[in-house]
Structure formats: C-alpha cells, structure tokens
C-alpha cells in the first residue's frame, strides 16, 4: 500500500517492493556447491577460494535489487541475440534438442567441483567455417562495449576469454571438435543495441592455466589453506571491488 507520509517518491516505493521481492527470490535459491568455469579468469585466487567456499560477503556486498535487475536484463539481451542469429541463418543450439526450457549444454569435472554451462553451440552459419563452434554472449555498457570492439575480447575482457577457452576444452569430451574451431563471441551494447561479433581461436595454454588454477583453488580450500592475495595493499583497485576485501585484509594471512 502506498505510504503518503513517506519521504520516498512513488517510484522509490514501487522499486523498493520490486527489489525486496528479487532479493528474497535470490536468497531462496540453493547456493551452488562448485567452482564455476566462467569465474576461473578472476585474477585473485584467494577471491576464488572465498567464492568456492561460499564465505559470507562483506557487509553491503550481497546482491541488491538493482544488481539482480541488471543480471535479468542480461538474460533478455542474450535471448534477443539468439533470436537474431537464428533469423540470420545461424544453426544455434542453446539446449539439448533445442527445446525451450530444455537442458543446457555443459560440463562437470573433478567430481562435480568444477562446472559450467555454455550459452550455445553453432552447427552451421552463413559466415563461418568449422563446426561445431562454441557461442558465448555478453551484454555490456557503451564504454565497455567500445573497449571490447577496439581491443578484442582477449585483451579487453580476460575473464571472458578464460571462460571461452575453458569451455572449449571441457566441452570437447561431449561435443567432439568444439575445441578445434574458433568460438563466436557476441557482445551487445546495452545502450545502443549495437552488436560486436568476434571469432576466438582456441587457446590451449590459457585453458590449461585455468584448469591448473581451479585445482589449486579447490585443493587449498579443502585443506584449509589460504592462497596468496593478488596485491600487497587493500588499496589495489581489484581489492576495492572484491566482495570479501574487508574480511581478507583482516585475516593478516
């Protein structure tokens, strides 16, 4: 019910109800019990340890309503990209059997400790050679999108590049040949609806480094050992954005 005595605007009050519902929905979901393949490109191995162990985040670092709305909008942009590519003649599979709501393509290794789900697999396309090919999509703001277009995903977005290489490597067992063909990376500009498409050759060395990192993170975490921080000071820019920065630097490890 609208509170006419509130200092909040009408829009603020509506958004508060929406955000409360989104946060409650997110908190009701079962936390994942594995290290996500999409996260292996994160530079700080200790941060990955906290993530894998489901360590409590610093105060104020849990996903709020606005962040959850951004995530949801990203899924909408991905669905649009799928529709556009299919209309353009791309044989793009996003689920097994390509049925709505079907099971996603993915992998599970190391006893289920490392898992990932791919956005899609391309089996034919009017402007590509070499199939099957991995397809990964991201929606970016204008500044980030322009930087990706200018420098390429491997330099501009190393976490995404690591994800692509890792997925190509681990999906080879269930989709033979996928690591032999360049992946298609699609980036959507959330501000202008511009599209960037980039072929990303398989980087076996990067995939191996990410796999080795995952093993280190899992083994150290399960042994109760903290891996080194990425920086010497909490002022380091990546530490400022880390969900566990306060707790990490209080440990003295």
Q: Is the pLDDT of residue 5 over 80?
A: no
Higher-confidence position of 180 and 62? 180
Q: Residue 177, preceding bond cis, omega within 30 degrees?
A: no
Q: Does domain 34-251 have CATH number 3.90.320.10?
A: yes
Q: Is the pLDDT of residue 60 over 70?
A: yes
d(CA 165, CA 137): 14
Whether the Cβ atoms of residue 37 and residue 167 lie closer than 8 Å to each other? yes
CB under 8 Å to 26, separation ≥6 — which residues? 63, 68
pLDDT in tens, 175-225: 999 999 999 999 999 999 999 999 999 999 999 999 999 999 999 999 999
- Over residues 164-184, mean pLDDT: 97
Starting at the earlier edge strand, list the strands of the sheet with 120-124.
Answer: 91-93, 120-124, 133-140, 183-189, 195-200
d(CA 187, CA 141): 10
Q: Is the pLDDT of residue 99 over 80?
A: no
Mean pLDDT of the chain: 93
- How does residue 252 score in pLDDT terms, banded at 50, 70 and 90? low
Q: With H, G, I as helix, E, B as strand and everything else as coil, classify residue 182.
A: coil
Q: Is the pLDDT of residue 90 over 80?
A: yes
> Phi/psi of residue 11, each to 5°?
-60, -40
d(CA 134, CA 93): 10
Any idea where the domains of the chain sit in the sequence? 34-251
pLDDT in tens, 108-155: 999 999 999 999 999 999 999 999 999 999 999 999 999 999 999 999
pLDDT of residue 30: 84
Q: Is the pLDDT of residue 248 over 60?
A: yes
pLDDT of residue 6: 67
- How does residue 32 score in pLDDT terms, banded at 50, 70 and 90? confident
- How does residue 97 score in pLDDT terms, banded at 50, 70 and 90? confident
Q: With H, G, I as helix, E, B as strand and everything else as coil, classify residue 17.
A: helix
- How does residue 102 score in pLDDT terms, banded at 50, 70 and 90? confident
Model confidence pTM above 0.75: yes
- How does residue 247 score in pLDDT terms, banded at 50, 70 and 90? confident
pLDDT of residue 151: 98
């Amino acid at each position: 019910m609208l509170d006419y005595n509130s200092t909040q605007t009408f829009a603020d009050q509506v958004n508060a109800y929406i955000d409360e519902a989104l946060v409650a929905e997110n908190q009701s979901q079962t936390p994942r019990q594995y290290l996500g393949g999409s996260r292996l490109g994160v530079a700080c191995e200790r941060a990955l340890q906290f993530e894998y162990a489901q360590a409590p985040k610093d105060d104020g670092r849990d996903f709020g309503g606005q962040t959850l709305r951004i995530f949801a909008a990203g899924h909408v942009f991905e669905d649009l990209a799928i529709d556009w590519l299919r209309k353009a003649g791309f044989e793009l599979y996003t689920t097994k059997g390509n049925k709505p709501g079907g099971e996603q393509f993915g992998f599970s290794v190391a006893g289920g400790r490392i898992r990932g789900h791919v956005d899609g697999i391309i089996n034919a396309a009017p402007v590509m050679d070499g199939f099957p090919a991995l397809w990964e999509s991201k929606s970016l703001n204008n500044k980030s999108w322009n930087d990706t277009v200018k420098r390429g995903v491997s330099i501009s977005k190393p976490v995404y590049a690591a994800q692509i290489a890792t997925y190509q490597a681990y999906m080879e067992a269930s989709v033979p040949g996928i690591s032999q063909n360049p992946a298609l990376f699609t980036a959507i500009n959330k501000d202008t609806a511009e599209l960037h498409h980039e072929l990303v050759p398989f980087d076996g060395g990067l995939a191996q480094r990410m796999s080795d990192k995952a093993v280190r993170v899992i083994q150290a975490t399960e042994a109760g050992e903290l891996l080194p921080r990425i920086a010497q000071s909490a002022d380091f820019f990546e530490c400022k954005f880390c969900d566990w920065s306060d707790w990490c630097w209080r440990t003295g490890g």
